[in-house]
């Protein structure tokens, strides 16, 4: 896995600072709240739900 790769994943947990995701590779990662979408997110639970399938891009 390298920076820029796009992968499918599933949200496994949500915290006020971001969401944990299990990737299709079996790896886990964190999507920081500032990386979820453009603009301010007041309540992350309105943007993502546990077990939601997402497409992510590796940034670090």
The whole-model pTM stands at 0.86
Question: Quick check: 5 pLDDT over 90?
Answer: yes
Q: Which domain holds residue 32?
A: 6-57
Q: What is the pLDDT of residues 12-48, one digit of tens each?
A: 999 999 999 999 999 999 999 999 988 888 899 989 9
The reported pLDDT for the residue numbered 9 is 97
Q: How far is the C-alpha of 57 from the C-alpha of 46, rounded, in Å? A: 21
* More confident call, 8 vs 40: 8
Residue 45's φ and ψ, nearest 5 degrees, are -70, -10
* CATH number of the domain enclosing 32: 2.40.50.140
Q: How far is the C-alpha of 38 from the C-alpha of 12, rounded, in Å? A: 22
pLDDT band at 4 (very low <50, low <70, confident <90, very high): very high
Question: Quick check: 60 pLDDT over 90?
Answer: no
Q: How far is the C-alpha of 26 from the C-alpha of 13, rounded, in Å? A: 15
Of 25, 51, 50, 45, the C-alpha closest to 33 is 45
Q: How far is the C-alpha of 14 from the C-alpha of 52, rounded, in Å? A: 11
Number of structural domains, the chain? 1
């Amino acid at each position: 896995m390298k920076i820029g790769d796009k992968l499918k994943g599933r949200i496994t947990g949500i915290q006020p600072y971001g969401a944990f995701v299990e990737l299709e590779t079996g790896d886990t990662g964190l999507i920081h709240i500032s990386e979820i979408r453009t603009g301010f997110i007041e309540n992350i639970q309105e943007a993502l739900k546990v077990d939601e399938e997402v497409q992510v891009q590796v940034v670090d």
